[in-house]
């Protein structure tokens, strides 16, 4: 049997189309799965990468993967032609419908492009035990990718509050580079 992923992707190159038709492929099970299973994949992968490359490099890998996901998500799911207010409203609605989290914008400076936003009931960390660390590195990249795709400006997004740090929402500062 032919390996369709190796042929269509090259060597592990991500393409949106290769996510497949989940609705068709999981007809009986449906498109959703428990957050527990998503986190099982995420945190075991982070553990393996941390042991292999160190925690700092593993977190950077997660940021880069999140960035790639954010840019592809923006290009394939979001309407990048909307004005800013409507884009944010659409992003909020989409993230909530897909059960990724509840997005709220706290601050946006139209001159600098800098932004502060929160994500409540976050897919990655809401409900985790308090470990006194920010753990949403993937989300940092995801948000960076979305913002860059929409604005055309490079963003550095960092989490400043996290459930795993004792907060009840994740807060992110996004600064234009």
CA dist list (Å): 144 to 65, 68, 140, 159: 11, 9, 6, 11
CA distances from residue 37 to 19, 72, 85, 123, 174 in whole angstroms, order as listed:
18, 23, 34, 11, 29
Domains (ranges, CATH) in the chain? 35-176 (3.30.1380.20)
- Phi, psi torsion values for 174, nearest 5 degrees: -115, 120
Q: What is the model's pLDDT at position 79?
A: 98
Confidence of residue 6 (pLDDT cuts 50, 70, 90): very low
More confidently predicted of 166 and 2 = 166
Contacts of 110 (CB under 8 A, 6+ apart): 84
Supply φ then ψ for residue 145, to 5 degrees: -65, -40
Helices (H) and strands (E) in the chain, counts: 6, 4
DSSP H or E run through 115: strand 115-120
Find the range with the poorest average confidence among 2-11, 55-64, 91-100, 134-143: 2-11
pLDDT at 4 over 70: no
Sign of the dihedral defined by the CA atoms of residues 108, 110, 111, 115, in that order: positive
pTM for this prediction: 0.91
Residues 132, 165 contacting (CB under 8 angstroms):
yes
pLDDT on residue 9: 52
Mean predicted confidence (pLDDT) in 64-73: 98
């Amino acid at each position: 049997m032919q390996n369709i992923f190796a042929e269509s992707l090259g060597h592990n190159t991500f393409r949106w189309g290769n996510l497949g038709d989940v609705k068709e492929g999981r007809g009986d099970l449906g498109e959703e799965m428990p957050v527990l299973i998503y986190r099982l994949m995420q945190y075991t992968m982070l553990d393996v990468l941390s042991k292999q490359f160190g925690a700092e490099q593993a977190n950077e890998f997660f940021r880069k993967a999140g960035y790639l996901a954010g840019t592809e998500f923006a290009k394939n799911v979001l309407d990048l032609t909307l004005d800013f207010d409507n884009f944010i409203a659409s992003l909020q609605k989409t993230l909530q419908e897909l059960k990724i989290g509840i997005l709220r914008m706290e601050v946006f400076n139209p001159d600098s492009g800098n932004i502060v936003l929160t994500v409540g009931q976050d897919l990655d960390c809401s409900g985790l035990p308090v470990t006194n660390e920010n753990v949403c590195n993937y989300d940092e990249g995801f948000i960076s990718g979305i913002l860059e795709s929409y604005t055309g400006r490079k963003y550095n997004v960092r989490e400043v509050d996290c459930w795993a740090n004792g907060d009840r929402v994740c807060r992110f500062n996004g600064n234009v580079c």
